Chains A and B, each alone.
Chain A
Amino acid sequence: MGEPTKIRATIREGVGELRMLVSHDMESGLRKDTEGRTIPAHFVQTLTVSLNDRVVIEAQLGPAISRNPLFSFRLPNARPGDRVSVRWTDNLGDQRADEATFS
């Protein structure tokens, strides 16, 4: 399941700002271990952001996103109390969903 995604959802000057930190190794599949064996790819492939249960951002990601991916977005019409949820799936089928509220 992985660690929870840290979500910061704040309204600044009337605009919703969203920052999220996903806990994931983002292993590219291109690295080798000390014995020369390839370390298998393990990375987040899809990321979905919903505002009050409506999908507003949908991402396809490759393995070249840095370890523990950080994303920032703007949701101009978000208001205090709006719920934002973040869901990801990785290439091995693991997934996780987390939620926060705009303040």
Chain B
Amino acid sequence: MSRSPSSERDRRLRRHVLRGVGAAAIWVGTGLMRPVQVLAAPREGTAFEARSLAEVLSRIGAADALDAGPSLQIRAPDVAENGAVVAVDIVSTLPDTRRIALVVDHNPFPLTFQFDFAPEAAPQVGTRIKMNETSLLRAVADAGGKTYVAQREVKVTVGGCGS
């Protein structure tokens, strides 16, 4: 499977940060940086700034992701009445899962979050997200050196990006 250079760079970066030696990394992960430096680390050019789904998937290395099957689960309502608050749980049982990302196809900025997990943490996260309209949700997991995807549709009655 091919992987874009930027994705490979992200992965190396992540490992450094998790080892606690990445204070100068693009991501202000360790929290050791002062606010002025935070401002100096904008997200231009990252997958979070991308508005097109194809570009997001490409930038997070998921363009050719493998089907995760039941090993990567998205727990979410089939129908969300309020798009401002949609409860989402993502759980990976793929061996050696290091990262889980969530992409909401029809949101203005599809990449919603990326979580990196050290071995001490189970590769799962629950949170609440905003959805603009009915959309496919894609969970993307980096596990064992490969990238996997799982997807699920959530219907939205009242959109939530205006909130």
Contacts and interface: CB of A to CB of B under 8 A. Distances in A.
B31 A65 contact: no
B29 A55 contact: yes
Interface string B18-48: 1010000001111101011011000100001
A59 B125 CA distance: 10
Among B14, B29, B39, B104, chain A packs the most CB atoms within 10 A around the CB of: B29
B126 A56 contact: no
Interface in B96-132: 104, 107-109, 111-118, 120-122, 124-131
Contacts of A67: 84, 163
Given A30-B108, A46-B29, A77 B120 contact: yes
Given A48-B31, A60-B48, A73 B122 contact: yes
A59 B48 CA distance: 12
B144 interface: no
Contacts of A66: 84-86, 127-130, 160
Given A48-B30, A55-B17, A62 B112 contact: yes
Contacts of B43: 45
Contacts of B20: 54-55
Contacts of B125: 59, 71-73
Nearest to B129: A64
A58 B17 contact: yes
Interface string A25-64: 0001011000000000000011011010011111111111
Nearest to A78: B120
B162 A31 contact: yes
A75 B121 contact: yes
A55 B161 contact: no
Contacts of B29: 46, 48, 55, 58
Given A55-B18, A65-B130, A70-B127, A95 B31 contact: yes
Interface of B: 14, 17-18, 20, 27-31, 33, 35-36, 38-39, 43, 48, 84-86, 89, 104, 107-109, 111-118, 120-122, 124-131, 160-163
16 contacts: A45-B28, A48-B31, A60-B113, A60-B114, A62-B109, A64-B104, A66-B86, A66-B129, A66-B160, A67-B163, A71-B126, A72-B127, A73-B122, A73-B124, A89-B33, A94-B35
